[in-house]
Amino acid sequence: MPVQNKSTCATVEDRIKVAVRVRPLNSRETTGGWPLILKKKRNCVTLTANNTLHRDNATKDKNKFQFDHVFWSLESPDESGGEPVGQAEVYATIGRPLVAHAFNGFNSCLFAYGQTGSGKTYTMMGADPNAIGGADAGVTPRLCLELFQMRERIEAEGHSKWSVEVGYIEVYNERVSDLLAKRKKGSKEEVFVDVREHPTRGVFIEGQELREVSSLDEVLGLIEAGNRVRHTAATKMNDRSSRSHAIFMLLLREERSMQTATGQTITTAGKNSRMNLVDLAGSERVAQSEVVGQQFSEARHINLSLTTLGRVIDMLADMTKNKDSQWSMPPYRESKLTFLLKDSLGGNSKTFMIATVSPSAMNYEETLSTLRYASRARDIVNVTKVNENPRALRIRELEEQMEQMRKDIQGKDPAYVAELEEKLRLLEAEAQKRAADLQALEREREKNEIHEKMLRATEAERQELLSRAGALERQVEESRRQAEYHERANQRLKEEHAQRERELLEQMRRREDEMERIRRRKEAEVMSGQEQLRKTMEDLERERRDREEALRVLGVWKEELNAALSDSRQSQEQREELERQNAQLADRMRQLESEREAQQRLLHELELLRDEHESLQRAVMLLRTEVEEMDQRHDRTTYHLLAVMELHAECYEAVLARLGVEHEHQLNQNAQWDADERAALERRNEEGLAERDSALSALQEALAECQRRLDESETAEEKLRVAYEALEKEKGGIYENMKLLQQAKTEVEQSLEAVTSERDELRENLLSLKKDYDFVVKSCARLRVDMSLADLEHQDELARLRIDRDAITAELRRAFGKLNASEVRLKYLRSLCKSARLGGSAESGEDYQVTRSVLAMRKT
């Protein structure tokens, strides 16, 4: 069951899902003995390079690629121990989500990409493209089977019916051919169609044959018929090589039904979606496939289109990753293939890509190129949205709101229940009015078609058509009565809406007045803040001058201290103390200098804040002017829309009146016919037919004019809605600017508080500096006193030293006198010793004692 999206108008970014399928080895690769170059572990593929492409050469390089899914179809298990993957597992992973997306109203695309002979057609169609049923069936037949099964389940609920149409085309030599177009039996003639682009519908194929189908057998028959006329050929690389790109299209349309209060069933259009299943022709190297002649030309066109596809993928991936990319628009129109896939690559589509590769070293270059393109495609982001008629979307939203209100009514307060019931009746009236308008337009179209057939039919057919026209006339009358009833209900709703709109306008006016008062108050606060800021800046300037004066005085003191240090002959300890105090004063001066620089920066920031506030005020004035202009444009658009709606109602009534007169005139003529006057009446009938032709032409012109005016009114209504949304956005922008102004005011207040705190801190620093100054003055006084005391002590010490020096000098003089006397005595003793040697040794002991005493005296 598809998931119902409530926000169907919203767009969703969806990345392209990429899967890789590794096919088994074929006979050429097996007999050639080529080694395997691919390894798979979970969703990661590792490609091992064989640089010389010889079987005996050792591998050197490895490339790792990450994908959303990796299908390992070789007979041997992968590195994770997984078993080989078959067709059913491939479809369950990449095919089943496409069915759910289709019934949810999303466009989708699945395309297979890879070299020739890598298994693209086998994956998309199956083992035998001309007999695609069975266990080896590809993604396309399995998807069609599940699509019809899901359609039966949805239609069994009774709310909607789905129709399915298919188309099948191929791109051969840069020309698009319709494979389902009518051909002579057994003929393979080409029926070419043109590819065009509509501003709103996007890319479409002009003249394509679309077949409505109701069962899987019909789809399989059409696929087989298309495959029989598709271009294929045998090459050295592939026995059945696709020589063209094939696109199988599935178009789904929903028809919803609803029950009115009178029991009538009304059917309206619902969602629609498109599914493209693309089987690309394989890229090939001419040297390997060895094609010549026509096949060479086919290979050249195939490679050119695939090269363009690769360039588109590279540009889209680069534009997704880098918003400042040098590319602005990929080259979709350089190839018919990329032009057809424009919505699938970077557009409104949920896209799946399956890259098929060979695991053999024989195809290393092609495998590496395929994996690189697949990895790049994984970076592309599409913007998807639900495809649904706006009126049908509105009806469905009203139904959902009514269903939600019915649920809310149960077990609620009676007053609240009454209010919800009133809203429910209004919503039902609006839904029935819209549904009745749609049904009336459909019946009017059918009636016009029947009138055209009546003018060309025979008498018997005319009678039958007249009866049907009468029935349709009654139905139109009934629809007209319902439309009038719903018109009255809609008028009542419009009046209520106008009343609510007036109330909202009054609320907006009051809110704007309040905003104006707030703006004025904020401006006054800002002006007062600016005045306070100016005073603060003046105070800071005065403090800065005082600080500079204090710094100058400190500099003078520093010079005096330096002079005192150089002039004084104080002790080493006192000099070190003075140098330490001098260093402290220098640090304090540097700190004051840094504080002054910080104050200058703060003043500069305050100037910047003032400039920013002035720019915000100018922006507010510009926004207010733009809002007034938008109000004027809104009033003019509303007046124009009302005039167009009145003109449309007058034209509609005139057309209905003219149809009634023509129909009554025809009935009167038919009642007056007589058998005898049949020939004359037939001649008059021919004249009446001519007149009716002209009347029908005039009616068609009037209807076209009404439709044109209706389109103009819808366009004007859409423009009005866009203008209203733009006005709402601008109002939101004004509110955001007011918030920014409030934030700026808060920041200014915070800055003012910071400046105030900084000023207080500077005052404290100034007081501290004054205290330091007083302390320095006292220290200098103490130093002067200490220096005076030191000088006195120094003089006293010098006097004492002089006295000690004089005493020591006198003592030394006495000692030298004694020494001289001792030397004289010593000489005398020596002379005695000499005489004693001659006289005997009796007196030697006494002379010895005398000599020792003399030596001791000299030592002293």
The reply, when asked if residue 115 is annotated as ligand binding, is yes
- Report the amino acid identity of residue 309: L
The reply, when asked if residue 265 is annotated as ligand binding, is no
The reply, when asked if residue 310 is annotated as ligand binding, is no
pLDDT of residue 162: 92
By CB neighbour count within 10 A (0-12 exposed, 13-18 middle, 19+ buried), where does 140 fall?
buried
H or E stretch covering 311: helix 294-321
In 764-828, DSSP assigns E strands to none
The reply, when asked if residue 458 is annotated as ligand binding, is no
**Confidence tier at 405 by pLDDT (50, 70, 90):** low
Span 478-501, average pLDDT: 72
Residue 457 pLDDT exceeds 60 = no
pLDDT of residue 52: 47
pLDDT of residue 54: 44
- Are residues 105 and 269 in contact, defined by beta-carbon separation less than 8 angstroms? no
- Least Cα distance to 191 among 168, 214, 213 occurs for 168
SS3 623: helix
Tokens of 134: 């069975």
pLDDT, tens digit, for every residue of 436-455?
A: 666 666 666 566 656 655 55
**Domain range annotation of the chain:** 12-388, 391-456, 513-671+684-795, 801-859
pLDDT of residue 163: 92
**Confidence tier at 667 by pLDDT (50, 70, 90):** very low
Span 127-143, average pLDDT: 75
Residue 642 pLDDT exceeds 80 = no
**According to CATH, what is the number of the domain 12-388?**
3.40.850.10
The reply, when asked if residue 82 is annotated as ligand binding, is no
Span 42-58, average pLDDT: 64
pLDDT of residue 663: 47
pLDDT of residue 108: 94
**Whose structure tokens read 């030697």?**
844
Residue 503 pLDDT exceeds 90 = no
pLDDT, tens digit, for every residue of 265-316?
A: 667 777 889 999 998 887 666 545 555 556 677 777 887 888 888 889 888 8
Most confident of 55-59, 587-591, 842-846: 587-591
Q: What are phi and psi of 293, to 5 degrees?
A: 65, -130
Tell which wins on pLDDT, 550 or 717: 550
pLDDT, tens digit, for every residue of 577-631?
A: 656 766 776 676 677 677 667 666 766 666 666 666 666 566 556 656 665 666 5
- Least Cα distance to 615 among 494, 709, 741, 511 occurs for 741
Q: Lowest mean pLDDT of 178-192, 655-669, 679-693, name the range.
A: 655-669
The reply, when asked if residue 117 is annotated as ligand binding, is yes
- Are residues 291 and 320 in contact, defined by beta-carbon separation less than 8 angstroms? no
Q: Lowest mean pLDDT of 28-32, 97-101, 236-240, name the range.
A: 236-240
- Distance of alpha carbon 799 from alpha carbon 156, whole angstroms: 133
Residue 417 pLDDT exceeds 80 = no
pLDDT of residue 454: 56
H or E stretch covering 277: strand 265-279
**Confidence tier at 152 by pLDDT (50, 70, 90):** very high
pLDDT of residue 55: 45
The reply, when asked if residue 745 is annotated as ligand binding, is no
% of the chain residues with pLDDT over 90: 12
Most confident of 3-7, 45-49, 103-107, 800-804: 103-107
**Whose structure tokens read 């907006």?**
508
Cβ within 8 Å of residue 574, ≥6 positions away: 568, 783, 786, 790
**Whose structure tokens read 């007053």?**
415
The reply, when asked if residue 433 is annotated as ligand binding, is no
SS3 782: helix
Cβ within 8 Å of residue 776, ≥6 positions away: 554, 557, 581, 585
Tell which wins on pLDDT, 193 or 630: 193
pLDDT of residue 30: 84
Tell which wins on pLDDT, 183 or 56: 183
Q: What are phi and psi of 211, to 5 degrees?
A: -110, 130
